[in-house]
Chain A
Amino acid sequence: MTVVGMFLGSAKSRLLPASVPFRFFVAAAVLHVVLWVAVLFAAGDFTRFRGGVGPSLAAVHLLTLGVLTMTAIGAAVQLLPVATARPLVAVWPIKAVFWLLVPGAIALIVGMYATHVGLMIAGAVASTVGLLLFAGLFVDNLRRAGSMPVVRAYGWGAFVSLVLLVALGLALSLDAEIGFLADHAGVALAHMILGSFGFMGMLALGFSHVLIPMFALSNAPKARMAQGGFAVAAATVMLGVTGALLGETMLLTAACVLGVVAASLHLRLMRVALATGMRKRLGLSFLLVRISWVLLALTPLVGLAALQGWAGPDGPTLFGLVSLGGWLLTFLLGILQRIVPFLTSMHVTRSTGGPPLLSELGASAPLTVHAVCHVVAITGLVTAIVLDSAVTAALAALVGLAGALAFATFIASILKTLASAQTRA
């Protein structure tokens, strides 16, 4: 039985109080707004960003630690116990994760923006503790799970990546103070690969195996091909991280080539799921998901072009944008606007009786505004990097900000529904 089945069956006991996942979604929506403000302020050096403390690094972490991680944790703490049919060991640690991670992320990001090493280290330590606590909850659930082997395999991949990611992140923060790393840039690249493709990527690919068939009303992807897809994706991350830590361009190139295979396998599985699904009209959220898949396919190609110098001097910046802002952010925002009403419907009783209509739970117009703005903003940032134009980057950031405000309006309308409804918490 899959996600919906678990929700309907004995899963009411595994349905967390609405406030638990939604605090992460609200944090993600707020940080999404702040992200675009940060991009606006960083427009001057964003197009040539190669790492190093400053506004651009702060903007990157607003995206990764802020929007992507908050969304992923909010979704994972609710979806994983349902998918694995094993409840989380307790609810309070998730709340503790939130209260460690939010102030930690804010301190880290402000420290990066203001080049304040003490704040950065304090933020990194708090974020590390929060993320490790989440990792502990996550792995405890995976360890006890018996179903959905492919989803669990991706979960294990995400867990290992998360542990390595936070370890390297903490080391990078401390290195800014005491300078003990021999190759700061290499470790930073490994940290980026672990974050984008290891932790977030594995979660995105893994949960796609249940969420996409659920929405498209199709069968789960074929097990053998899905297992093959996981093996190639995991090998890609391992090669990429090893290549970054050893400074071996050959290994990084091999990771990009393998990444093409991994992306192709995943997209083929998803294409079959959509083609065989009963539901063809999947709405605006799936437009974003489809766009994210195009960018997933482009990511290893842009990485390869950046490595070989075919993408010009700003190839590495373009690679970061296409993978983080293009693929992952677009995908998560598309999925988030789909699962938030679904989760809300599980907590709300209609005043006139019967289950609520999903369309009654949140405003739809802001999502249209967001989708248009998001696509224009990402396209604008790509153009800004290619043309090395700070003005274009600033304009793109303004459009992105309008989109983020629209998305926050949608989340606010959902919260209003939740607050006014009888909850099952």
Chain B
Amino acid sequence: MFTNRISQTLHDEHRATIALMERLERAIIRRLAISPGDPEAGRLLRDLVLAIDTDTMRHFDFEETQLFTLLESVGDHLIGDHLTEEHTVMRPLGEKLAALARAAESGGFDPARWEEFRRVGAEFVQRMVVHVQKEEMALLPLVNETMDSETEMRLYEAYAGNG
């Protein structure tokens, strides 16, 4: 879809993230806590921890340190400022969600923790979906249209090598 490999890589990660958010959304609709013994629920908790701890944080860091600074250097700072503000809100939420999922992997959920997981999860899903929507419609096309091939190669190697 994107000719620029940075845009395409981030797009692929967005697709995986949205799929995970939809799985989380389906789980937290339930009033009764999911059990980590259930294979599907256990897989969801594991995937959440892995995705937030590594992929999401790495994705945010890369955008902030490489892409937004690059856009700012060519005079376009509004997109970066707006998306950074959203990252700032989502980072602690993600960390909290990952911590709750990690704890539940071994000990399961008591009613209070399940409620907290549902609340934090619902906010995280909502923020992530809107955030991905903005990046897909604004950031990735902009990167695809404006980044030169030399910068693309340098950043792609940095990002892929860091994966």
Contact = CB atoms under 8 A, between A and B. Distances in A.
Contacts of B134: 4-5, 8
A8 B88 CA distance: 17
A346 to B, nearest CB: 10
Given A219-B1, A354-B86, A354-B89, A5 B133 contact: no
A359 interface: yes
Contacts of B47: none
A221 to B, nearest CB: 14
Given A3-B137, A217-B18, A359 B78 contact: no
Interface stretch (A192-200, A274-282, A385-393): A274-282
B22 interface: yes
A354 B83 CA distance: 11
A421 interface: no
Q: From B130, B132, B141, name the one whose CB has the most chain A CB atoms within 10 angstroms.
A: B130
Interface string A286-307: 0000000000000000000000
Given A4-B137, A214-B137, A9 B130 contact: no
Nearest to A278: B18
Interface string A345-368: 000000001110111000000000
A281 B22 contact: yes
B116 interface: no
Contact of A278 (B14, B26, B86, B123): B14
A217 B19 CA distance: 12
B129 interface: yes
Nearest to B136: A217
Nearest to B141: A1
A8 B134 CA distance: 8
Contacts of A217: 14, 18, 132-133, 136
B79 interface: yes
A207 to B, nearest CB: 15
B25 A5 contact: no
B89 A1 contact: no
Contacts of B89: 353-355
A279 B25 CA distance: 12
A280 B138 CA distance: 21
- Please report whether the interface of chain A is mostly helix, strand, loop or mixed according to DSSP: loop
A12 interface: yes
B22 to A, nearest CB: 5
Contacts of B85: 354-355
Contacts of A357: 123, 126-127
Given A8-B82, A354-B89, A278 B141 contact: no
Interface in A18-67: none
A10 interface: yes
Contacts of A2: 137-138, 141
Nearest to A352: B89
A10 B78 CA distance: 7
Interface residues of A, number: 24
Nearest to A219: B1
B43 interface: no
B72 interface: no
Given A281-B22, A357-B126, A12 B132 contact: no
Contacts of A359: 122, 126
B79 A9 contact: yes
B21 to A, nearest CB: 9
Nearest to A359: B126
A215 B127 CA distance: 14
Contacts of B1: 219
Interface string B6-37: 00000000110011001001100000000000
Given A9-B76, A9-B78, A279 B129 contact: yes
Nearest to A353: B89
A215 B1 CA distance: 18
Contact of B79 (A8, A215, A280): A8
A31 to B, nearest CB: 30
Nearest to A355: B86
A12 B86 CA distance: 17
Contacts of B50: none
A12 B19 CA distance: 31
Interface in B37-66: none
A175 B92 CA distance: 67
Contacts of B153: none
Given A1-B138, A3-B137, A4-B133, A279 B18 contact: yes
Given A219-B1, A354-B88, A355-B86, A5 B18 contact: no
B12 to A, nearest CB: 10
12 contacts: A4-B134, A4-B137, A214-B133, A278-B14, A278-B15, A278-B19, A279-B18, A280-B22, A281-B26, A353-B89, A355-B86, A359-B126
Given A5-B142, A8-B79, A217-B18, 5 more contacts: A1-B142, A8-B83, A214-B137, A278-B132, A357-B123
- Which 10 interchain pairs have the tightest Cβ spacing? A5-B138, A4-B137, A354-B89, A278-B18, A8-B138, A5-B137, A2-B137, A8-B79, A278-B15, A4-B134
